[in-house]
Amino acid sequence: MYISARPGVREIEVRPSSDTAPVIRGKVGPVVVLLGLTSLLTDVSSEMVVAVLPLFATVALGLSPTAYGAIEGLYQGTTAVVRLAGGFAGDRTGRPKTVAAVGYGLSAVCKLALVPVSGGAALAAVLAADRTGKGLRTAPRDAMIAASCDAALLGRAFGVHRAMDTAGALLGPLVAFAVLAAIPGAYSTIFGLSFAIALVGLAVLVFLTPGEGRPARVALEPVSASGVAALVVDPRLRRLLVATGLLSVLTVGDGFLYLALLHRSAIAATYFPLLLVGTACAYMVLSVPLGRVADRLGRPRVFVAGHLALGLAYLAAAGPPGGAIGLCACLLLLGAYYAATDGVLAAAAASLTPPQLRGSGIALAQTAVALGRLVAAVAFGLAWSRFGRDQALVGFAVLLLVVAPLAALLFRVPSQRSAAGR
Amino acid sequence: MSRRGVAFVLACVVAVVIGGAAIGLGRRNAAEAARPTAATAADLALDVATVRAGGYIAFRSTALGPTYGRLAVVPLAAPGGPRAVTSLECDRAYVTRAAGLCLSAARGAVTTYRATLLDAALSPRRGLPLAGIPSRARLSAAGTLAATTTFVGGHSYAQAGFSTATTVHSVAAGKDYGNLEDFAVIRAGKRYRSADLNIWGVTFGTGARFYATVGTKGRTYLAEGDLGARRLTTLRENAECPSLSPDGTRVAYKTRPDPAQPVWRLAVLDLATGVQTDLAETRNVDDQVEWLDDHRILYGLPAEGAATDVWVVPADGSGRPEILIPNAWSPSVVR
């Protein structure tokens, strides 16, 4: 009762009904921190490889940029299906930790497999396996985070995890280029080190992170494919999926946004790689605060607000040629979008899904995002060719700013009804 | 300590051993690569200014050792002999009698790329920013126009797939023609627009005329460009990375026998008759070729490991390919 008395929080109904526990102050549990540590180490490992991969492919392997681009494109689509499979496997076996460990292990082994790579085909195979590992582990790991903490603290827990994850992504390139600066051309050293770091991350998960033990599990129904299908029929999760898909269809890929900035500003051309760093910094810093805000004000609200920030980022990128301020504003808004949506969506999906189906529920929500973005990429390409780059960006921004409030309504209706039905 | 704790410590020890081994082996290999070989010692003995006095070929040296990746020159008369090596590291280079262009990566915490304009003596004069990984470099014959193609993207956060940025810069006037994607593209007599438009591989003709590749919707076109009118007109489908012959009558390029596969063959187009001649090189060549003279063409092919060789083949479809300069890449001929 005292929540509604808190200034700034209007009504308890704006939250999903399963999410009405009073706000608890305290620290996130050890599971979240340990999973965060695993993700941090794995991201250091992956990103140090990703950072040198274009150089390795073009300079050391002698692949043309065109061939490298083709390889990159090849493995982008593979994660969505694997992600669903990973989520379902974690639920079905009741062992999300084991499934996640297989995913982390596969990606770790891939780093070592890069050492003998000497051609495009081998590189493509290793990268595809690496992506498969990433797809496999994401949903069961998120289910573990969700299972480890109070429903009222989910947003913050995911915020902590994503902040640690992003910190790893920022550290990776620094480690890689420190190695390259000390030992020129030492790609094999980078891959070997990357494997060693991934191994420690895997060991944190396997040996230190409490997993599996779900006491309530025996009392629950066994998980089947039809159970997952029933999830989609559940009106609350379905509305979340529809709203998520709808917003994601208006999400232009970061690559397009960076290219727009590149055309706009001389600063962007000189420091092109720093655009990614700027976005990741904003994401890391904002992840925990926005997760907390989501726990207080309702995750759908923050999720929708994140898309409003994205719309503003498009306007900033399409606006009059700005100097450093316009550029920074755009990156800050883009980072805020990630902080307000990625972990928050996982938290929202987890809170709308029965505990034994959490992995599948989270995977479904993340797949809705992936499919939406796929459509968005095609639609944006068409809009760009038809109306021009800036016009297309402004168009997508306006659509986002209009659709986001509608999506908010979609989120709200069921939670009000279910609250009223009590 | 619990069994799990012991297992964790063991895993960390294994990781430290593997990491240490990776660093140790890397250092040993690097030390070995840096040791001068008999060949690189001979190369370092040759003077760049002496070679530059006559006709010469400039290229990126890929001979293993301390001079790997540096801009080098050989006399036209003895291309397979000792080379003179500059102190410049270039991933891609182009040199004319009047000026040079060197594209390189400045490796650091965040790798940035730059194009350096060189004077006639191959000394750095000033830099131009580059947005991505260097791919192609070209200067006009008089050294007054510079074109660079870079590969933008290729990072986990930027997943726009394949995208190039090709810019043309007037060396003399300090004027920038900007990204060629902003030029009007004319296909089959009509203005063509598409978001996935990529322009790469410029070769300069006389005056404002140039040739380049236009890529869109998985197809490539040879296009003739006009810097003054800011326009590109497509001439022919399935032709990439053109190179204009010294006499200006023919264009050599790479073409895909199967347009769905990234495997290229070299061909020469007679601009007056529109007849395409396939060259005797049957291997996959992914390079912007260079004309040795009006009758022979130079291009790079990968050899063992990180090494590459520069090959020569007649421009009329006859003969067979031969290695002209071993351990070389990105050649340009200074007559």
A265-320 tens-digit pLDDT: 666 666 776 788 899 999 999 999 999 999 999 999 999 999 999 999 999 888 77
Bridge partners, residue B215, by sequence: B198, B220
**Strand B209-216 with B84-89, pairing:** unpaired
pLDDT above 80 for B156: no
pTM for the predicted model, two decimal places: 0.74
Q: Does the pLDDT of residue A64 top 70, yes or no? A: no
B15 in contact with chain A, both atoms CB, cutoff 8 A: yes
Q: What gap in Å lies between CA B335 and CA B96, rounded to an integer? A: 8
DSSP state of A181: H
More confident residue, A127 or A244: A244
pLDDT digits (tens, 9 = 90+) for A152-185: 999 999 999 999 999 999 999 888 888 887 887 7
Of A220 and A85, the structure prediction assigns the larger pLDDT to: A85
Give the DSSP H or E segment for A340: helix A324-351
In this predicted structure, the answer to whether residue A61 has a pLDDT above a threshold of 80 is no
- Is the interface score ipTM higher than 0.90? no
Per-residue confidence (pLDDT) for residue A419, from 0 to 100 = 39
What are residue B274's DSSP bridge partners? none
Give the span between the Cα atoms of A103 and A82, in whole angstroms. 10
A354: Cβ–Cβ under 8 A, 6 or more apart, which residues?
A220
Q: Measured between alpha carbons, how far is B122 from B95 in angstroms, rounded to an integer?
A: 8
Instruction: Return d(Cα A166, Cα A40) in angstroms, integer.
Output: 7
Query: What percent of chain A has pLDDT above 90?
Result: 45
Q: Which of residues 59-78 of B touch A (CB under 8 A)?
A: 68
pLDDT of the residue at B130: 77
* A410, B82, B222, B251, B252 from B267: Cα distances, Å: 59, 31, 12, 8, 6
Q: Which residues of B touch A191 (CB under 8 A)?
A: 22
Confidence of residue B2 (pLDDT cuts 50, 70, 90): confident
Task: Pick the range with the lowest mean pLDDT from A157-161, A346-350, B23-27, B36-40.
Answer: B36-40
Query: Does A272 contact B194 at a Cβ distance shorter than 8 Å?
Result: no
Of residues B7, B110, B133, nearest to A54 (C-beta): B133
Does B75 score more than 60 pLDDT? yes
- Burial environment of residue A95 by CB neighbours within 10 A (0 to 12, 13 to 18, 19 or more): middle
Q: Which residues of B touch A207 (CB under 8 A)?
A: 4-5, 7-8, 11
Distances in whole angstroms, Cα of residue B206 to Cα of each of A10, A386, B225, B244: 72, 34, 11, 10
B202-252: per-residue pLDDT in tens?
A: 999 988 899 999 988 878 999 999 999 999 999 999 999 999 999 999 999
Contact B161 A47 (CB under 8 A): no
- pLDDT for res A14: 33
Give the Cα separation of B272 and B226 in Å (integer): 18
User: Nearest-CA distance from A55 to chain B in Å?
Assistant: 8
For residue A314, the number of C-alpha atoms closer than 13 Å in the C-beta half-sphere is 24
